[in-house]
Copies of this chain bind each other. A is one copy, B any other.
Amino acid sequence: MAQRKLGRGVAIVGAGMSPFGTFARMATRDLFVEAFLDMRGSVDKGLDPDDIEALYVGNYSSDLFEGQGHTAPLMADWVGLTPRPATRIEDACASSGVALREGIIAVASGLYDVVLVGGIEKMSNLPTGEVTDALATAGDALYEIPAGFTFPGFYAAMATAYMHRYGAQSEHLIQVTQKNHENGALNPKAQFGQRIADIMEGKKERAAAKGRPVPEWESEMAFFHDDRANPMIAAPLRLFDCSPISDGAAVLLLVSEEIAGQFTDEPIRVIGSGQASGRALHDRDTLTSIPAAQRAGQMAYEMADVTPDDIKLAEVHDCFTIAELIAIEDLGFFAPGDGYKATEDGMTARTAPRPVNTSGGLKSKGHPVGASGAGQTVEVFKQMRGLAGERQVAHDVDVALTHNVGGTGQTCAVHIYERGQA
């Protein structure tokens, strides 16, 4: 079945986000307002909020994290959009990638010209164990969770299979972490915006200040193999293989392509959108790739009429280090089993022709799950527009991609963007 085109073109003309981190004194609505204001400031020619016709907001589970359901109209109210239609989209950690797709579809349908797309999550209210339990509900609550699985365990199973099949070592996983922290150190909104060397130095300083033995590591890899500094979470995944528990919000402004010039002379056109579903991990044929990601990627490439080689920058879903390696293979950037070698060779670094996760990725920037997909698009918007500050890549990013996964791959949304002219 050939991938159909959208009824009309859609462009992103504004993008913003709150800092990602843990904010004890803020509720989801506060983070959303912050992201909204940041987005508003990014619209070159200004935005009258009255022109916004609808809101789609991705949110995994404010129900479980915050005791607050029915979040969409609440977000609409707090940025002054009442009585505009406000719809919450939930597809686990792909919630706002899918919300973006719904926003695109809504503009393409002709019903709206101006749509706000958001992503939100406030996870830090709960103790870590309860966050883990809440996230586990994105698996299969009848067939997987009773067997003891939580998300580090799911991805540990994928990592084990990948390492066994392709010969990757734990060092290859951690190279993803090193790269993403290197990038995140240049992102002022990142939750853990420090290079690994700085994290090591900080640990030494804090030990000295407390009069404890100052740890010494021969190398970064020695640090990563230190069970105290980097404890095992679910073998082979250690702490630094895992994205953090985060609070945050991200917001995008979508308009029909015909009117993009009213907002900016540099619209970011959405030229490809793919979404696919997958079975729960226990019922899947493979652990070393995510079929829904492969299919969503194919859909997006076909709609955009580009190939993986055309992509000049990608933000992919590195909820765990293994997830980035699988992502860059599923997207066709590298052949199956070559992702870890390519990473080792620096082919995903910020200075490479097709850098991956220049924002710091979910690992360093943070992973407020329902906000992560929209957050990826914020990075693409900034890099394509030359607004990424210290982490701005040197080459021209005319075409870019985002890859947002829900659960272990029961959902994937892939989008492809092209810098247009109004």
Contacts and interface: CB of A to CB of B under 8 A. Distances in A.
Interface in A1-42: 1, 4-8, 27
B68 A87 contact: no
Contacts of A85: 98, 101, 275-277
A391 to B, nearest CB: 32
Contact of A411 (B72, B112, B140): B72
A105 B98 contact: no
Interface in A300-349: none
A89 B87 contact: yes
Contacts of A147: none
A109 interface: yes
A90 to B, nearest CB: 4
Contacts of A55: 277
Nearest to A67: B141
Interface stretch (A76-84, A153-161, A177-185): A76-84
Interface in A86-125: 86-92, 98, 101-102, 105-106, 108-112
A232 interface: no
A168 interface: no
A131 interface: no
Interface string A147-182: 000000000000000000000000000000000000
Interface stretch (A56-64, A189-197, A218-226): A56-64
B141 A83 contact: no
B137 A67 contact: yes
Contacts of A83: 276-278, 291-292, 295
**Top-4 shortest CB links A-B:** A7-B110, A85-B275, A73-B277, A73-B410
Interface of A: 1, 4-8, 27, 53-55, 59-61, 63-64, 66-74, 76-77, 81-92, 98, 101-102, 105-106, 108-112, 134, 137-142, 145, 275-280, 283, 291-292, 295, 406-407, 410-411
16 contacts: A5-B110, A7-B7, A61-B69, A69-B92, A70-B91, A70-B138, A70-B410, A73-B278, A73-B279, A83-B276, A85-B98, A85-B276, A86-B91, A87-B102, A89-B90, A102-B102
Given A83-B295, A108-B110, 9 more contacts: A6-B109, A67-B137, A70-B410, A70-B411, A71-B90, A77-B279, A82-B278, A85-B275, A88-B90
